[in-house]
Amino acid sequence: MNAAPQYWLMKIEPDECSIDDLAALPGQTVPWTGVRNYQARNFMRDGMRVGDQVLYYHSSCAEPGVAGIAEVASSAYPDATQFDAKSPYFDPKSKPEAPRWLNVDVKFRKKTRLLPLKDMREVPALATMRLLQPGSRLSITPVSPEEWQAVMALLDR
């Protein structure tokens, strides 16, 4: 029972938690709170396993792109911010007895060079990436082993 790791891409605004912020917490796990999209939630709940590898993607910033690698460090559990009236992620319709939103924990693996979105768009091997599909906005997307290998090769350049 030692399944091969699966691969994901997770978007974060560097203002919230950049790869440098994550790197400043070595060995610590960080709750990936604030996901408020059912598809992304379902990827965490149904797809993610501890040990899965994550492309850490900076979005909504001057240089969007992959900035590092993280690892899934827990299975999905209820996101505490949905019950916190002071949180921007507060969801008044979610009840503690039936939590609507979940999060996993992630932990830092390494910082990479920044692989810009615009470079990724030019690589045929990455054309299938969910991130690169027109209009794709999902904050968590699966990455195939082939796509993962292609990204690793680009990062080594």
Partner DNA sequence: GCCAACGTTGGC
Binding site for DNA (CB under 7 A): 11, 36-39, 59-61, 64, 93, 117-118, 121, 133-139
Q: Which is nearer to DNA, 21 or 119 (CB)?
A: 119
Q: How far is the CB of 4 from DNA (least distance, A)?
A: 27
Q: Which is nearer to DNA, 31 or 34 (CB)?
A: 34
Q: How far is the CB of 26 from DNA (least distance, A)?
A: 26
Q: Which is nearer to DNA, 26 or 135 (CB)?
A: 135
Q: What span, in angstroms and rounded, lies between the C-alpha atoms of 76 and 79?
A: 9
State whether residue 54 is helix, strand or coil.
strand
Q: How many CB atoms lie within 10 A of CB 105?
A: 18
Q: How far is the CB of 144 from DNA (least distance, A)?
A: 19
Q: Which is nearer to DNA, 93 or 157 (CB)?
A: 93
Q: How far is the CB of 63 from DNA (least distance, A)?
A: 9
Contact 102, 44 (CB under 8 A): yes
| C-alpha dist (Å) from residue 83 to 33, 75, 100, 117, 145 | 12, 20, 10, 34, 36
Q: How many CB atoms lie within 10 A of CB 110?
A: 12
